[in-house]
Chain A
Amino acid sequence: MTTELDRLELELRSVPGVVAVGYSGEGERLAVHVVAVASRAVADLADRVQRAVHLCAEPVELDLLLDVQA
């Protein structure tokens, strides 16, 4: 894992609602898995998560899971 991905993880966790970040794959096939809980999520959660991932210097795929469990 690079410092760049550490920075991305922290930026994602700073988005209100995000509670977990995981990675899978390697290099150009790296995917970032973001889990958020609906009760704490901001309205523009998906936008903010996408923007954070978009500016990552390494190419990543995004998998955003919103937990709406009561």
Chain B
Amino acid sequence: MLPGALVVPGAPVPYTRAEVGELTPQDTLAPPASAPSATVQELVLELALAPSGVGFIARCLDRLVELHGLRDAYAVIDDEVLGAQLFTAGREPLPKGVKVLDRLNRGAGIHTDPTLIDQVDELEALARLCDIALRLDRLQYESLHDPLTGLYNRRGFDAQVQQAASGAERYGWSFALMLLDLDGFKAINDRFGHHRGDAVLRSVGARLRRDLRAGDIAARIGGDEFAVLLYLGDTGDAHPVLERLKAEPLALDIDATITWAAGVALCPEEATDLEGLLRLADTRLYETKGLQARERQG
């Protein structure tokens, strides 16, 4: 602490010279050896505003091809979770006869044809940007999806419902929010263990993906609670999907049975916001479960 320094309660205490140690010329703020090129600077700004990382990587490669008149450019990004990933300029499919492993084996970075000998720094900077872009995408994907089933999680589903509710309000695109609860799941967990329980949840996820129509959205929003967003189109009826789910029992490799209970709410007919739709669907789900329990008791 400097002698005579004013001390404000709660304020951070400055470091002493002894704590910091001696500063060397390398510690001072010096400009980098070479300033980033205009292309790199533009792409840094673009990445900050990009709606998606994979889209950014594609644009980055396209820009490189256009700028230098290249025949081809591709990026190999070694992501810590996804592993080595290959991205092609123009998002083109791999050319005939090109082996994907040959390209992956060239290692992480941006590779061009012809080789840009004088642009090594720029290519390294762009490769770092692409690496960040993919990581951002992956982190966002993980924050919105359930790792066990691959479906949306609660957070991702809420965002999708809010988007659909805006569409319903502005354009009249009606949809149904369906909550699904598994009857018999707790007994499976208790009897066969969590490992088997997880396998059942994965089967439910796969089944929902299989039975839904293109554009419909499924999510796992709790332990054994699932939710589905169904666009209704002209029919205005969500029940055919539920009937399809109920028609075929869930295939399990254990001696147990799982049944569904569902509660449905319609937007915009019955509610126009997420909370209202969830509340209504939840009330109906518990009414259905109560009815099913009474039926079982005879």
User: Once the chains bind, are A54 and B214 in contact (CB under 8 Å)?
Assistant: yes
Determine if B86 and A19 form an interchain contact, defined as CB atoms under 8 angstroms apart.
yes
Interface centre among B83, B91, B92, B215 (most CB of A within 10 A): B91
Min CB distance A34 to B, Å, is 9
A13 to B88 CA separation, bound complex (whole angstroms): 14
Neighbour of A20 across the interface among B55, B88, B141, B150, CB < 8 A: B88
Are A35 and B150 in contact, with the CB atoms below 8 A? Answer: no
Interface of B: prevailing SS: mixed
Segment 15-70 of A: residues with Cβ below 8 Å from B: 16, 19-24, 33, 35, 37, 40, 47-48, 51, 54-57, 59, 63, 65, 67, 69
- A69 x B52 contact (CB < 8 A): no
Neighbouring B residues of A65 by C-beta, 8 Å? 94, 100
Chain A residues whose C-beta falls within 8 Å of the C-beta of B94 in the assembled complex: 20, 22, 33, 35, 65
CB distance from A62 to the nearest CB of B (A): 12
Q: How many residues belonging to A are interface residues under a CB distance threshold of 8 Å?
A: 32
Interface residue? B84 (CB, 8 A):
yes
- CA of A40 to CA of B85, assembled, Å: 12
A50-B119 Cα distance, complex, nearest whole Å: 40
Cβ of B226 under 8 Å from chain A: no
Segment of B36-44, B108-116, B205-213 engaged in the interface with chain A: B205-213
Contact across chains for A37 and B100 when beta carbons are under 8 A apart: yes
B206, A1: Cβ atoms under 8 Å?
Answer: no
Nearest-neighbor residue (CB-CB) of A33 within chain B: B93
Chain B contact residue count (CB 8 A cutoff): 33
Nearest chain-B residue to A67 (Cβ)? B100
Inter-chain contacts of A63 with B (CB < 8 A): 93
CA gap between A40 and B58 in the complex, in Å: 24
> A56: which of B85, B206, B214 is its contact (CB, 8 Å)?
B214
Q: Which residues of A contact B85 (CB under 8 A)?
A: 13, 19-20
Q: Which residues of A contact B54 (CB under 8 A)?
A: 6, 9-10, 13
Give A63 Cβ to nearest chain B Cβ, in Å: 7
User: Is A14 a contact partner of B215 (Cβ separation < 8 A)?
Assistant: no
**Chain A residues whose C-beta falls within 8 Å of the C-beta of B91 in the assembled complex:** 1, 9, 21-23
CB distance from B264 to the nearest CB of A (A): 20
Interface set, chain B 87-107, CB cutoff 8 A to A: 87-88, 91-94, 99-101, 104
**B55, A6: Cβ atoms under 8 Å?**
yes
Which B residues contact A (CB, under 8 angstroms)? 51-55, 58, 82-88, 91-94, 99-101, 104, 137-138, 141, 150, 206, 209-210, 212, 214-217
Pairs A-B, 7 closest by C-beta atoms: A33-B93, A22-B93, A6-B52, A57-B215, A20-B86, A51-B209, A6-B55
Interface set of A (CB-CB < 8 Å, partner B): 1, 3, 6-7, 9-11, 13-14, 16, 19-24, 33, 35, 37, 40, 47-48, 51, 54-57, 59, 63, 65, 67, 69
A-B contact pairs, 6 of them (CB 8 A): A1-B58, A3-B52, A13-B54, A37-B101, A54-B214, A55-B212
